[in-house]
Amino acid sequence: MRIGKPLALAATLSACALTVAPSMAAPCAPPGELREARPLAIRAYVHSTGKQVLTLAGYSGAEYEDPAAMRATVVKALAGRDPGTWIVNIGATAAGIGAAYPVAKALGFTTMGIVSVLARDEGAALSDCVDIVFYVPDTSWGGLTAAGHLSPTSVAIVETGTEFLAIGGGEVTRDEMAAARRAGKPVIFVAADMNHEIARKRALRKGLPEPVDFRGAAHSAL
């Protein structure tokens, strides 16, 4: 991570992260622009901005056991970056790591979201703090296909990212971050538990044993 801000500012931002959910949601508005686009077009858009992209990855519907700690990690990652030269990209939706969108907006960053068209087709709630959303034609939510290739959504995420910060995460995060590393791109992984109660309820619905490890599939790989 980069250090360029005074320590006093960094401390202020860290304190802000602990209450960011209620205090930062109000200034945001629904996404200003929604586009259906393939990876090549998304790369062209990013190139046209002249900015670098910090991509955040992690849990989505699985949520976080400690969401405040997740937001504090994002604040620290953004503290040394110039909003004039960086875009913050996540997966467009509001759940899980999507709660980092209000953090980025409050710190002055342009925000972007890349997500499968399944999010649109299934009515997934988008974050109010994402400026532009790219829906990628895809039959999956991301990760590896049955043939062992990255899905189109994950291709777009990996190819457009300059640097990556993964805070916990499941199989899709694991596959995307592994691909980013293979491409020689900087990837930082921060361990985090998924929401324990959500994990227990999912296991119960599927008739599986109650989970005892909540660190997610990305943990062992990254």
Spatial CA neighbour of 20 closest among 112, 107, 86, 126: 107
Asked if 18 and 68 count as a contact pair (C-beta separation under 8 A), the reply is: yes
Q: Which CATH architecture has domain 29-221?
A: 3-Layer(aba) Sandwich (3.40)
Cα of 60 vs its chain's centroid, Å:
8
How do the domains of the chain map onto residue ranges?
Answer: 29-221
Q: What is the pTM of this model?
A: 0.86
Helix (H) or strand (E) holding 115: strand 110-116
Spatial CA neighbour of 95 closest among 58, 60, 135: 60
Rounded to 5°, the CA angle 110-86-169 comes to 85
Quickly state the pLDDT bin for 28 (edges 50, 70, 90).
confident
* DSSP strand pairing (132-136 vs 163-167): unpaired
The string of pLDDT tens digits covering residues 164-182 is 999 999 999 999 999 999 9
Quickly state the pLDDT bin for 27 (edges 50, 70, 90).
low
